[in-house]
Amino acid sequence: MTSIFHRTAQPVATPKGGAVLILIVVLLFVAAAAGGGYFAYKKWIEKPPLKTKFATLPIKKELIQFSSNTISPALYHNMAMIDEMLLTLDKELDRLKRIGKQFPNQKGVVSPRISALDGSRERLSAILTDAAGRIEKMYVTWLVDREEGILQIRDQKNSLTQGLADAIRKEAGLLGRIQNNPEAQS
């Protein structure tokens, strides 16, 4: 007599199919988590590299790095913004001078605008040059006597950063008009 419990010819399900599916799901989950982490790092954590050379001011790379890393990232940001503003002013001055040459009878239209831009450029350039000189003095003091350098940084950091921010605000209206002019963008 054969019993049902003693049958040996019954098919047995293999675990391979289920294991492969679980492995694929785990790999997809890990890939999605890694991709999300990479995206989050690039979007919110990674800082853009420092612009270590300004187009309108001959300043040493180590002074730019010192201004950002040791003095204040806001100071570096303001210096870089003024450098960009000066580039914009230079491009617009070149454009207006070309227009003045094309239409020499319209100097009354072009000349006041060129004068205003020249004045703005001179003010911003002087402020940036002064800031670079003060930063260089702080840097050399910091290299020679760390304590004295730290005191100078503490004393001048806020006034220097605020002075650059005030200059940016004063000239923002003029630069806003340049940026809003589609002809100036070309």
Q: What is the pLDDT of residues 111-135, one digit of tens each?
A: 999 999 999 999 999 999 999 999 9
Nearest-angstrom CA–CA distance, 35 and 41: 10
Query: Per-domain residue ranges for the chain?
Result: 6-45, 61-180
Using 50, 70 and 90 to split pLDDT, how confident is the model at 148?
very high
According to the model, what pLDDT value does residue 114 have?
93
Reply yes or no on whether the pLDDT at 143 is more than 80: yes
Average pLDDT over residues 69-97: 93
According to the model, what pLDDT value does residue 123 have?
95
Residues 6+ apart with CB under 8 A from 168: 78, 81, 82, 85
Average pLDDT over residues 172-185: 79
**Digit-coded pLDDT (tens) for 14-70:** 555 667 778 888 888 888 888 888 888 777 777 766 777 888 888 999 999 999 999
By the 10 Å C-beta count (0-12 exposed, 13-18 middle, 19+ buried), 46 is classed as exposed
Nearest-angstrom CA–CA distance, 87 and 128: 13
Using 50, 70 and 90 to split pLDDT, how confident is the model at 9?
low
Angle at CA 44, nearest 5°, toward 42 and 48?
Answer: 60
Distances (CA, A) of 113 to 1, 54, 57, 118, 126: 112, 26, 24, 9, 20
